[in-house]
Amino acid sequence: MSVLVDLLRFIAANEQLPRTLQRYAGHDRDAIGKLIAAAADRLEESEKAAEPAPGPRGKTGLKVRKQSEVERAAKQSAEELDAAMNESKAQREQKKRQRALDAERERAEAVEKAAELPPRVRLFTDGAARGNPGPAGAGAVIVSPAGHIMAKLGKFLGDSTNNVAEYTGLILGLKRAKAMGIKELDVFSDSELLVKQLAGDYAVKAEHLRPLHDEAQALLKAFPEVRVAHIPREENAAADEMSNRAIDERL
């Protein structure tokens, strides 16, 4: 093993590399150490490959060796890390913006697709908590396919959180829709968390939300045809009004 290989491995294992960390902001000491160690491994393998090996009848020749899977993986990891280190902050921000644009496009396509379907009863739900936690209210509005309001609901919850109020507004509306004998229903909420959790895209991590989530899922399954979609806050004004009215009037 050459002195250079030994030196690289010593640096990878022991040096703190403050200037290197400053140069490659966003990458920790462990990642850079692994890159240096991988470089040492590749250098050592190259040196071994270049050593003469005895040929037939005492003659000497060059070793012929194939690149191992470990070497290929180490090389790929090193190249990926190099690429990440060289990626500018502007490029990372551009990728972040692109992901946001893709998410918005998917939402718009879902809304457009829903608009193409025959109109049916719509349920708008919302919740509000002033202080979060603080005085909270749940609201729901049921609208006919022709656009006429069929029911406006509000419920004061005392001191609670916004997420609890959002789920309660949904449950309030689903129960009323079920009682009215509605079979086909489109549900709209401006809470991305609620919609994503109902779809299974987000996990329900808060213990106090799990009973509400389970109740909402059970109610949704009672409808032969039901869709749940996220809408912007400005499109949910009627349900927002009912949730705030529930707080003001202690409904």
- Confidence band of 111 (pLDDT split at 50, 70, 90): low
- Region 52-64 average pLDDT: 49
DSSP 43-108: HHHHHHHHSEEE-GGG-EEE---PPPHHHHHHHHHHHHHHHHHH--HHHHHHHHHHHHHHHHHHHH
Give the range with max mean pLDDT: 50-54, 96-100, 135-139: 135-139
Mean pLDDT of 100-117: 70
Higher-scoring residue by pLDDT: 4, 226:
226
Q: Name the token pair of 172.
A: 């309030």
- Is the separation of the CB atoms in 169 and 188 below 8 Å? no
Q: Are residues 233 and 139 in the same domain?
A: yes
The CA R_g of the chain, rounded to the nearest whole Å, is 31
Q: What CA–CA distance (Å, rounded) separates 122 from 103?
A: 24
The distance in angstroms from the start CA to the end CA of the chain is 81
User: Do 121 and 193 reside in the same domain of the chain?
Assistant: yes
Task: Give the separation between CA 139 and CA 129, rounded to whole angstroms.
Answer: 12
Instruction: Provide the domain limits for residue 43.
Output: 3-55+62-87
Instruction: Look up residue 104 and give its two tokens.
Output: 């918005």
Give the CATH number of the domain where residue 235 resides: 3.30.420.10
* Residue, of 77 and 221, whose pLDDT is higher: 221
Number of domains within the chain: 2
Q: State how far the alpha carbon of 185 is from the alpha carbons of 8, 221, 234, 240, in Å.
A: 66, 11, 21, 19
pLDDT band at 64 (very low <50, low <70, confident <90, very high): very low
Higher pLDDT, 119 or 107: 119
102 falls within a domain:
no
Q: What pLDDT is stored for residue 91 in this prediction? A: 74
Q: What is the pLDDT of residues 158-210, one digit of tens each?
A: 999 999 999 999 999 999 999 999 999 999 999 999 999 999 999 999 999 99
Q: Has residue 242 been placed in a domain?
A: yes
* Whether the predicted pLDDT of 45 surpasses 50: yes
Decide: 12 and 36 in contact? Cβ < 8 Å.
yes
Classify residue 109: in a domain, yes or no. Answer: no
Domain membership flag for residue 135 = yes
Q: How confident is the model at residue 76 (pLDDT cuts 50, 70, 90)?
A: low
